[in-house]
């Protein structure tokens, strides 16, 4: 039996179900708070008051960061001259979204 096993090893032909785990990782990884989850777990032993305070501070800092970055980005874009991108920007962004959709659609089939 050993000689036959060495000459003809079994085929590895079953598929691994990683689609759900990959989707969960992408959802959690895209969250701006993923790095703070361990801090919440560590602070949970000090009571609900600290958790609420941490949640408020993290939310306020995230919102403030997005607002500041959006305002400065919009101000920069008002001054920038992007040439043909200004004319075809909607088409380019639509194509990019379609390509991402196709790639993720193909990835979920595998």
Domain presence at residue 3: no
Domain presence at residue 100: yes
Domain presence at residue 4: no
Q: Is the per-residue pLDDT at 3 higher than 70? A: no
Domain presence at residue 101: yes
Looking at the chain, the whole-number percentage of residues with pLDDT higher than 90 is: 20
Q: Where in the sequence is the domain holding 90, given as residue range(s)?
A: 84-110
The mean pLDDT value of the chain amounts to: 79
Overall domain count for the chain: 1
Q: What is the mean pLDDT of residues 104-109?
A: 89
pLDDT digits (tens, 9 = 90+) for 15-36: 656 666 666 555 555 566 677 7
Domain presence at residue 24: no
Q: What is the mean pLDDT of residues 73-78?
A: 86
Domain presence at residue 74: no
Which of 2-6, 8-12, 75-79, 103-107 has the largest mean confidence?
103-107
Domain presence at residue 63: no
**SS3 category, 30:** coil
Q: How far is CA 65 from CA 27, 78, 102, in A?
A: 20, 20, 32
The answer to whether 92 and 85 are in contact (CB under 8 A) is yes
Kindly report the CA angle at 26 between 104 and 15, in degrees rounded to 5?
60
Which of 27-36, 59-68, 85-94 has the largest mean confidence?
85-94
Using CB atoms within 10 A of its CB, is residue 36 exposed (0-12), middle (13-18) or buried (19+)? middle
Domain presence at residue 88: yes
Confidence of residue 9 (pLDDT cuts 50, 70, 90): low
The answer to whether 36 and 56 are in contact (CB under 8 A) is no
The answer to whether 50 and 57 are in contact (CB under 8 A) is no
Q: In the chain, what's the furthest Cα-to-Cα distance? A: 76
């Amino acid at each position: 039996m050993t000689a036959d096993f060495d000459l003809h090893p079994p085929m590895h032909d079953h598929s691994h179900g990683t689609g759900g785990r990959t989707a969960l990782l992408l959802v959690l990884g895209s969250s701006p708070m993923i790095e703070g989850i361990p801090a919440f777990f560590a602070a949970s032993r000090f009571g609900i008051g600290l958790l609420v305070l941490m949640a408020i501070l993290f939310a306020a800092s995230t919102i403030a960061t997005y607002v500041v970055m959006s305002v400065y980005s919009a101000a920069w874009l008002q001054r920038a001259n992007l040439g043909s991108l200004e004319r075809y920007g909607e088409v380019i962004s639509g194509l990019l979204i379609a390509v991402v959709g196709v790639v993720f659609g193909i990835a979920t089939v595998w």
